[in-house]
Structure formats: C-alpha cells, structure tokens
C-alpha cells in the first residue's frame, strides 16, 4: 500500500522525505504514462501545493526557475536572447496539455537521454538546487544527471529549482531537434547552443550540448574550444571533436547557429569531405552536420531532406 502526500510548503515536503522515500510528482507527464494499467506501488509526494516552487525570477546571482515552472511558463517568459534555444524547445514538447503541465525540473529528474531541456540548460550552464533537512547544495547539470534515468539526487532531497548565471548581453541561444516528424515526437538527436559574439564577429564564448546521442546529454568541450576566437566560416568540424559521445554510430549531429546576418551563406565541410550549405539561422533550421563515417553521412543527409517521414 502506498502513501500519498501533498505538502503546502518546502519545509513540510523535506520533513516527509526525511522519514520516507517518495516519488516527487510535479506535472505527472512522465509519471502517469509510465504506469498505465499498473498499480501505483511507490509513495507519492504531490508538489503542486507548494506555490513558492513555481516562477521565474531575476536575482543578483542569476535567473532562477522554480521546480514547478512549466514549459508554458518558459515559453511566454521575457528572457534574454541566450534563452531562445530553451524557449524553442518548450514549443516542441508534446502538445499544449503537456506544455501546460510538464515542468523543466521534472524533465531533468526523469533523466531521459532524449530530455529536450537538458542540452539547452547545459549550454546555459544551469545549476540544479537541491534541499533536504540536512542542508542545501547546488550541482552543475552535468554532475546532476549521471546516466539514463539516473541522477545524483538522494532519496531525502528535493530539487527546488534551477539557477542560471546571467548571460552576456551579446549571447544568443539556439536549439535543433530532429525526429520522425516535427511535433509530438521523441528526439532522434538534438543540440543546444549558446554563443557570445565579439564586435569583429568572432565567437567569444560558446557552449554546445548534444542529446539523444548517448545515455545522457554531453557538452562538446573540444568543439567549443575549437570554435572560440573564430568566425563561423573558419570553423572546420572533425570526428575527433565528438569522441565524448559514447556511441559507435550516431545518426547525425546538428550544431545550431545564431540568427545573425554575418553567419549565413557559407559552405561548411565536415571531415568526410561532404560539403553542406550551412545557413546557421534559427529560422531556417540546419547548420553543420557531421557523422562518424562517410557512408553514414550520406544516408543521414538523405533523411534530413524528409524530416517528417517516419
């Protein structure tokens, strides 16, 4: 027999968690579908009564998003341009019902390799805030998600929100997601990018994260270092920059570019020698594509011409 709790405050929730393990329930968009036709056997803690956990606030140390902040909240929030990738992702998450109920932190805690929030939040260098009766701590998102459906959250801890450092005024974000169709689909591959541009149109700082290509989303730190200090038409992508993706043959990788006039219209060449006319515009879709080998690239390039084909 399972127990059900609906605390009205964070303190009450932490007290309950100190006595018994519970599954935190926010929007329920992952919880309920996973239990269709099955009896609920876990203790459940319904967080929807804790109003203080919902909202987006600008604080001295960064932008805070509460644990109950929904995709719809993010979609309509007045956020800096660095958050455009995260807001793009919010529009592709299921239907309107899912967007209204589903939460960013629930998406993180579910820890699916195809979680659409993760690459964008990694590119934004988000910190996950955790609390328990023992105290509080913050973890980098890469430290929080350990693997497929695995996180560093202890049983007596509650994720209370995300803290994202204030981005530079010249930072822009972008997101690309490919699936068998445009909407209501689990990602085959996705990429979140946040980049800062210098006055001479060179990349001052860039963060690139990829999802659905390994058991958890990964920052491409080698590629980031290769891009920094260069103009878009100077970037050459090689296979060695994707060695952190632990998968023998991933379908394809899109590195979404910024919606800037000076970054459009050039030709990008991956290591296999295949030329790609990269527009690097968030409004147009595809930026750079690379693969583990030439034959795979050719197959995948044919697929990208028909993204809506199952």
Task: Indicate the pLDDT class of residue 183, thresholds 50, 70 and 90.
Answer: low
What pLDDT is recorded for position 248? 31
What pLDDT is recorded for position 236? 80
% pLDDT > 90, the chain: 58
What pLDDT is recorded for position 232? 85
What pLDDT is recorded for position 244? 60
Please answer whether residues 277 and 267 qualify as being in contact, where contact means their C-beta atoms are separated by less than 8 angstroms.
Answer: yes
pTM of the model: 0.78
User: Mean pLDDT score of the chain, rounded to an integer?
Assistant: 80
pLDDT in tens, 60-117: 999 999 999 999 999 999 999 999 999 999 998 888 999 999 999 999 999 998 899 9
What pLDDT is recorded for position 241? 66
Nearest to 68 by CA among 43, 111, 100: 100
What pLDDT is recorded for position 204? 93
What CATH number should be reported for the domain whose range is 171-304? 3.30.390
On the question of pLDDT at 118 being above 70, the answer is yes
Rounded average pLDDT over 122-150: 97
Rounded average pLDDT over 221-250: 74
Task: Indicate the pLDDT class of residue 185, thresholds 50, 70 and 90.
Answer: low
Alpha-carbon gap, residue 227 to 203, rounded angstroms: 7
Task: Indicate the pLDDT class of residue 246, thresholds 50, 70 and 90.
Answer: very low
What pLDDT is recorded for position 250? 38
On the question of pLDDT at 140 being above 90, the answer is yes
Alpha-carbon gap, residue 301 to 187, rounded angstroms: 17
pLDDT in tens, 57-72: 999 999 999 999 999 9
Q: Which residue has the higher pLDDT, 283 or 231?
A: 231
Rounded average pLDDT over 186-210: 90
What pLDDT is recorded for position 310? 35
pLDDT in tens, 283-303: 223 333 333 333 333 333 333
pLDDT in tens, 14-44: 999 999 999 999 999 999 988 898 989 999 9
Task: Indicate the pLDDT class of residue 213, thresholds 50, 70 and 90.
Answer: confident
What pLDDT is recorded for position 243? 64
What pLDDT is recorded for position 93? 85
Place of tokens 């080698």: 222
Half-sphere exposure of 272 (CA within 13 A, CB side): 16
Alpha-carbon gap, residue 210 to 292, rounded angstroms: 15
Rounded average pLDDT over 174-185: 72
């Amino acid at each position: 027999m399972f127990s059900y709790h609906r605390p009205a405050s964070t303190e009450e929730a932490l007290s309950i968690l100190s006595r018994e393990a519970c599954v935190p329930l926010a929007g329920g968009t992952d919880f309920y579908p996973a239990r269709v036709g099955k009896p609920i056997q876990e203790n459940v803690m319904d967080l929807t009564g804790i109003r203080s956990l919902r909202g987006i606030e600008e604080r001295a140390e960064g932008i805070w998003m509460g644990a109950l902040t929904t995709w719809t909240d993010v979609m309509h929030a007045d956020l800096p341009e660095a958050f455009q990738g995260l807001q793009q992702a919010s529009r592709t998450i299921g239907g309107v019902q899912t967007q209204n109920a589903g939460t960013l932190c629930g998406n993180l805690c579910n820890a699916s390799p195809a979680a659409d929030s993760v690459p964008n939040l990694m590119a934004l260098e988000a910190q996950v805030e955790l609390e328990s009766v023992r105290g509080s701590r913050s973890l980098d998102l890469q430290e929080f998600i350990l693997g497929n459906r695995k996180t560093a959250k202890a049983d007596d801890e509650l994720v209370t929100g995300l803290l994202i450092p204030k981005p530079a005024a010249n930072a822009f974000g972008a997101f690309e997601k490919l699936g068998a169709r445009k909407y209501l689909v689990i990602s085959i591959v996705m990429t979140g990018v946040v980049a800062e541009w210098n006055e001479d149109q060179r990349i001052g700082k860039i963060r690139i994260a990829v999802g659905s290509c390994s058991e958890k989303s990964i920052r491409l730190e080698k590629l980031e270092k290769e891009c920094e200090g260069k103009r878009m038409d100077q970037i050459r992508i090689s296979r060695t920059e994707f060695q952190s993706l632990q998968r023998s043959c991933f379908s394809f990788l899109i590195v979404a570019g910024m919606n800037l006039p000076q970054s459009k219209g050039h030709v990008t060449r991956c290591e296999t020698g295949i030329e790609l006319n990269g527009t690097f515009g968030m409004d147009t879709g595809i930026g750079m594509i690379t693969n583990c080998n030439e034959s795979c690239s050719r197959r995948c390039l044919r697929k990208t011409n028909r993204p809506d084909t199952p």
